[in-house]
Amino acid sequence: MTDAPPLDTPAPDAPAPSVEIAAWPAQLYATLKTAGVRHASYVPDAGHAELIRRFEEDPEAAAVMLSTEEEGIALACGAWLGGMRSAVLMQSSGVGNCINMLSLPAQARMPLLMLVTMRGEWGEFNPWQVPMSRAVQPSLEAMGVSVVRVEEAGEVAPTVAQAAAMAFGGDQRIAVLLGQRLLGAKKW
């Protein structure tokens, strides 16, 4: 279970055109499965809807619905203790709920892969999303989590592939932020 997953997950030839923007969640799911991630937990976000659906429907995978995001941090640590690779899916607002629980993977030097869909940064209608959005990267880094951002659909799969390799092969805590520009501003 501790062997490093392959680094050579193929990237799409070109960024997906806007009409095919829904392609990246499927690529992301395939990337996670290739990386040996068969377990995921989530507080729902519209940007993760397709990924959640695939985890819920795949008989080879397990999905755990959370009541708050820090549960997912503890859950992923427990899954790793038991030999399983897990990913935690959340919206940017949920990062704030995770802070103290991030002590556990930091102190135990456990792998952690967080996939964070961003709100409050690109055409955001709701200003209440902005303060936590601005705090996501500094607060994660303050708790020892490395942060990588994705803004282009074609970069999602290769970025997550390398993040998974570093997390599970090298005992790193990594959050991949999926920019709101990639996801699109929420329609009101």
Residues of this chain that interact with another protein (CB under 8 A) are: 1-3, 39, 62, 64-68, 70-84, 86, 100-101, 103-104, 107-110, 169, 171
Beta strands in the chain (DSSP E): 37-42, 62-65, 85-91, 112-117, 146-150, 173-178
CB nearer to another protein: give 26 or 108. Answer: 108
Q: What is the C-alpha separation between 132 and 12, in angstroms, rounded?
A: 32
CB nearer to another protein: give 65 or 185. Answer: 65
Tokens of 8: 């050579």
CB nearer to another protein: give 86 or 117. Answer: 86
CB of residue 33 vs another protein: minimum separation in angstroms?
17
In sequence order, what DSSP letters do the residues of 131-183 get, joined into one string?
Answer: HHHHHHHHHHHHTT-EEEEE-SHHHHHHHHHHHHHHHHHHT-EEEEEE-HHHH
CB of residue 86 vs another protein: minimum separation in angstroms?
7
User: Which residues make Cβ contacts (< 8 Å) with residue 141, sequence separation at least 6?
Assistant: 147
CB nearer to another protein: give 16 or 99. Answer: 99
CB nearer to another protein: give 10 or 170. Answer: 170
Tokens of 23: 């392609």
Q: What is the C-alpha separation between 18 and 110, in angstroms, rounded?
A: 37
CB of residue 31 vs another protein: minimum separation in angstroms?
21
CB nearer to another protein: give 21 or 62. Answer: 62
Report the SS3 class of residue 123: coil
CB of residue 80 vs another protein: minimum separation in angstroms?
7
CB of residue 164 vs another protein: minimum separation in angstroms?
15
User: Which residues make Cβ contacts (< 8 Å) with residue 129, sequence separation at least 6?
Assistant: 92, 93, 119, 120
CB of residue 149 vs another protein: minimum separation in angstroms?
27
